[in-house]
Amino acid sequence: MLTEARNRTGCWGMVAGELMTDNPHSIREDASLDNAIAFLIDRGFRAAPVIDESGRPVGVISQSDIVVHDREEVSGRMHDFYGAERLEAEPGPAGSPPRDVRVSDLMTPVVFQVPPDAPFSRVLEEMVTLNVHRLFVVSDEGILVGVITALDVLRRLYEEARREPAEWMAGAK
């Protein structure tokens, strides 16, 4: 079991601002679907924060959001192909270009966030309680300043375990 003194050292004494990746890549809410796909794929991201004109986070766009959108689009075309009623509210003429889809149309409009001074224990609690892989770090002014992923947390725990393996192993028994 970790002692009270241990809780204040190592990663347990860290705050969100020390764990986060500074200045995370983000995408604007008015970006096109094509831009979002290129952004995520080219950078190897599974998801990214969506920001408004002033840099405030307004949601998250993920590869899953895009796949769901594509599935709905294909499903709508298949219904049309078989002569059934289209799934779209306002179908366009055959051969018309697809609707102008923006990131704001697809994103999850929720931002799970913590302030830069949130303790490590709160970061863990939020990620586990909310069942999320990432938390965004937002300044008092509401500006996105960083991101903490589950992998960031695991790296810190791993680094600490490597520095003091005997203590970690004793605590695991």
Whether the predicted pLDDT of 2 surpasses 80: no
Mean pLDDT of 72-101: 54
Strands 113-114 and 134-138: parallel
Strands 144-149 and 27-28: unpaired
Strand partners, 21: 147
Distance, CA of 33 to CA of 38 (rounded, Å) = 9
Q: Please report the domains of the chain, with CATH numbers, ordered by start residue.
A: 4-172 (3.10.580.10)
Binning pLDDT at 50, 70 and 90, where does residue 68 land? Answer: confident
User: pLDDT tens digit string along 90-138?
Assistant: 444 444 455 689 999 999 999 999 999 999 999 999 999 999 999 999 9
User: pLDDT tens digit string along 135-158?
Assistant: 999 999 999 999 999 999 999 988
User: pLDDT tens digit string along 14-57?
Assistant: 999 999 999 899 999 999 999 999 999 999 999 999 999 988 89
